[in-house]
């Protein structure tokens, strides 16, 4: 299991369209992936879970992955977040 702290930089946070891009990317990996904010953790492959977090621009979250491609998953998701969820 690996984890990484990231800060959401796009204007609307992880809502609607950006959340969909994030979830689609997360679903390309075999590893189990979670997103954690404060004391709450949700499945990063679940649209309802991610939207329920209320993640806005500037929010620091922790990405957690566990599985055979866990490092690749975190690298890919971090790259997507740093591109402002436009890829």
Active site (catalytic) residues: 15
Domain that holds residue 65: 2-82
Q: Residue 71 maps to which CATH number? A: 3.30.1340.10
Is residue 73 in some structural domain? yes
- Model pTM greater than 0.85? yes
Q: CB neighbours (10 Å) of residue 65? A: 25
Total domain count for the chain?
1
Is residue 25 in some structural domain? yes
C-alpha angle 51/32/45, rounded to 5°? 25
What pLDDT digit, counting tens, does each position of 12-71 carry?
899 889 999 999 999 999 999 999 999 999 999 999 999 999 999 999 999 999 999 999
Question: 16-26 and 70-82 are packed helices; what angle lies between their axes, rounded to 10 degrees?
Answer: 160
Is residue 14 in some structural domain? yes
Is residue 87 in some structural domain? no
Q: Where are the alpha helices (DSSP H) in 1-87?
A: 16-26, 47-52, 70-82
């Amino acid at each position: 299991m690996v984890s990484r702290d990231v800060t959401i930089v796009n204007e609307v946070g992880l809502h609607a369209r950006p959340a969909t891009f994030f979830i689609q990317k997360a679903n390309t990996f075999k590893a189990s992936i979670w997103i954690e904010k404060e004391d709450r953790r949700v499945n990063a492959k679940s649209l309802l879970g991610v939207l329920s977090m209320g993640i806005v621009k500037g929010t620091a979250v922790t990405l957690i992955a566990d599985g055979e491609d866990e490092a690749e998953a975190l690298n890919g998701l971090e790259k997507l977040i740093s591109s402002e969820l436009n890829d």
